[in-house]
Structure 1
Amino acid sequence: MASETHMPGPVCLIENINGTLAVNPEALKILSAITQPLVVVAIVGLYRTGKSYLMNKLAGKSKGFSIGSTVQSHTKGIWMWCVPHPEKADHTLVLLDTEGLEDVEKGDKSNDTQIFALAILLSSTFVYNTMNKIDQTAIDLLHVVTELSNLLRAPSSTDLDKAEDAADMVSFYPDLVWTLRDFYLSLEADGQHITADEYLQNSLKLKPDTHQSHQNFNLPRRCIQKFFPIKKCFIFDLPTHRKKLAQLETLHDDELDPDFVQQVADFCYYIFHHSKTKTLSGGIKAKGPELESLVLTYVNAISSRNLPCMGNAVLALAQIKNSAAVQKAIAHYDQQMAQKVKLPTETLQELLDLHRAIEKEAIEIFTNSSFKDVDQKFQKELETLLKAKQDDFCKQNLEASSDHCSALLQNIFGSLEEDVKHGIYSKPGGHCLFLQKTEELKAKYYQEPRKGIQAEEALQKYLQSKKSLSDAVLQTDQALTARAKKMEEARLRAKAAEAEAQRLKMIRRQKQQMMEQRERQYQEQVRQIEMERARRLDEEKRALERKFQEEARQQQERVQAEMRRLQNELQQQQYNARPPDCILL
């Protein structure tokens, strides 16, 4: 069972045989049997700087990894020690101790780069062990190997490690723990005490990118910050008197400097509690078989790629990084131009403005990604490529405009050609109508957007190509017009004769109407006279009747008056005939 994995001591995982790296099958067998998630801690640094001592402490042992007491380097290749994780249940702690860098006995330093890169690629926590202080040499060394390990890793993807995006690539890299041995500086900045982490942070701080020297200064720091987002720094005092360093692994803690003992304890505590599980692409937690596959993959990649020795690494990295920076800038240019440029452009200036803006971005990307571009060789290469791409885009723009305008003209003027074929303009005045329709279609063509720089030239070429069509319409128009003129003259004469006949007919009709009118007027006069005579007779009759009536009324009034007079006389006579007494009464 994985929980029962027991290794009494480290074994060589990757052997360094005469400058050639080879995987130890026995170590792979141990590794493949581990079914627990792995926390992989690797340490790299100059030889004779106490790397193995720290790894033994992480294993909980005073002995295990070889601790040399002379100027001769002991550890060769990469040694592995798998122990139960002291803090994470059901996890295995894999400790990788590496061959010291810059061993004078090796002569050929090619393994330095390879072993350094392997330690970064295989670990989940990477311990960078340097002496005394953080300096530019240590930063450049870490930067170079980090870039080379990324280069090594990119084409060597396996089923466990492929199709990774940028976030995956960053998460793949281990946490960085920078250990400073025999530290002798004062942790102060601007007169204030600072922590070891702040010292590391200040050492990796960027300068404003206002000068080429600042860009060269910033490049390794930006790389380290990008690929090691989690960074920690520990400082270690001298363990004991230099004369006792030869017996370091046999000394008890009470024989060592108390500050050093505490510093080692703090280091181990951090590793145990903060080191993450080795994680592959897609969030896969690496177990023994997965780490075994990575070991084989990367060692095989190293064997086939023949990474340069440390002495030539900077030169090789500059070549690789700058070539990659050129490709990255060109890829950005191609991507942005593809997204932002819609051919054809309305004007050539529009295309040139877009090119210049994106060209500026591409050069900026190259500048930020380049490394030691001596004499701006690669930048000039980039500018040459960009100029060629500009010329190509101008050519494409010209062709796109020409093709688009040709298709547009055919689409707009196609109906005119069809009308000509069907004889719509084969009539007198047809040429005038043809020209009028042509102007309408030209106006429609001009209204179409984004025709490009060939718009006018394409139109003129098209109209010139259709001149024979216009001439044919004109000739037909002229022939039909002459014939129509004669027919029109005959029609006008016939129309004039018809008009004269109509006029004479109208005159006769008018005379007839006048005679009829006069007869009607005469009859009306006769009728009016008769009516007037009848009216007068009627009036005379009514006047006579009124006269008779008035005379009868007057006669009646006279009779009535006479009767009243006679009655009055009779009454008077009767009154006069009465006796006197009756009168008194």
Structure 2
Amino acid sequence: MSLDSTEGNKFGNGIPGRPGNPIQLLEYVSSEDESFGKIVINDAALRIINNIREPVAIIAVVGSYRRGKSWFANVLHGRHDGFELGSKVEGCTRGIYMWDSPFIYEGKRVIVLDCEGIDDPNQEQAWAVKLFILCLIVSSTFIYNISGIVGRDDIGKLYLMTDLTKFIQPPTGYDFLPRLVVLLRDFQLEEPDDFRKYFIEKLNNVNEEIAKSIKNYFHDFNVFGLPHPGCNRSQLRDMENVATENLDKEFVDIVVTVVRSIYSNLNPKYIGSSTMTGMSFGKFLVDCVEKMNDPENSEQLSIPSEYETVIQYMSHKATDKCIEIYESGMNEEIRGRVPILWDEFDDIHNNYYNKAQEEFHNMIIGSSQQVIDFIDGFNVQIQKVKEKYVKINSEALHAYNHELAENLWKTHIKCRLNKENLFKDKAEFDAAEEAFRNDYQNQMMASPEAGAAITEFLDDNYSHALEILTELGTLKEEQANALRRLEEAQKESIKAQERVISLETAIKQGSLEGKQQAEKLERKMNDMAKNIENQKSQNEELKKQLLDQQRQMVEQQKVVAVEREKHMQRMMEREREAAAEREKIMQRIYEQEKESAARREALLLRQRGSGGGGGCQIL
């Protein structure tokens, strides 16, 4: 623990003071007809929770009223003051309060809940039961603060543990239950060797079923005996202003030991094999309260049902947020800059795709299979969004290259398609066409769209140019037809090359995205495996089953990724072979046309020679 504060009446002794003030999280509003009232959540407190990005650790301090419960909640913040302390007979805390500045401890954001005292004479019985159950469900550490005597009147609502399933439908095992810490206040007897054993024995004397239930439900619990603070009655009534040095040293030492033990064993709030962040915990809390408030609902809360609701909620929230991360980044980088080359486009996409993926993996929770399904669904969604930007850039690239082809055509070809500046012969036209193609090759924005743009442009203009040149006598009909055949072959070759380039890009991009996804998935699964290990489940067979399942899923995803890449490579090879074959066909057509042109030229020369020499014969 490293954070220190000068605010408030510090407890000191190595417990850091946490700045902030209490804020009410929940209050109970009684009904006029004496039926169960309504639990109301404070929106301001809920916003604080929802804004927490880290895993949350929820420490609920619960117990009998007027037993120093709120004071101990303050000490967890390293202070004597903070949560209001009462000096009257009736309890002071109403509802549940939390700190308005949850603090970081070992990567977890800690929320301490100071809960209304149970068994207050002015408290409705139904509310007392639901308060106990609610704190039990939402906390990751449940501190039960009771009298050190452990008599029938001191065990408070622990009797509810004898039939917990009456109020809660648990998931498999009891891993949803928090770590239990029992504080035996004003413990004046000789200290036993083992407080856990002592506590269970005392419970056995009062209620065997409670003792049995505690052992069955809480596989991880601890018991501490706190002696009397050692101060006089007036100081006890003013504990928020007392100085630590005025308290009994033994009491202070034990309090410090208890606080350190609580923090050294502090777990985050789990949901299956995932940790809850502020948003998922906030949703879980709201749903539990809504169920408790529903007059049509029985008293029982279904933990699996509530978990599933939270899991699906977080998936939707993660998808919406991460699509927004990707879209806002792409909008900023792409719009106003297109056209850009595809390598640059892919770099921009990969940057924001990676950021979106990172956040998505951090936000989603659930079982291994659910996590994989959510990731697959998110990838489908983000690819749809990507296609929007691909379309924008593709259209811009096509327009740029089409305009370039049009301008170069005007410069090299169109200006010579008239009687005043007509090409003299095919050779001159061929030279101009070659200059047109070379300039286009040098100035185009290299991409599949460049090939498509020039192909489309020549479809509209090349044949028309040949018609004009034939009509004006620059080309003979057979020469024009030969050029058309050659152009058609070139067009097919360009299309084949476009497909090869597109597939190469897709394979390269798919391989990169696949590796990123595999790395993030493996990291996510490793985190989930650690969470399973950390929960210290009683059901070791279930734990082993979950860990084995996660390992198998990671391996399956790796195999799927490898097979997908192999399939793409096979497609690539087929396209390359097809492109090479089309290139050969074009080359053969080109050679055939050259030979035909040469024969025609030779024939023409012989005919001219025969006509000029009178007696010469054509061999």
TM category (shorter chain) comes to: 0.3 to 0.5
Q: TM (normalized to structure 1)? A: 0.44
Q: TM (normalized to structure 2)? A: 0.42
CA radius of gyration, larger in: 1
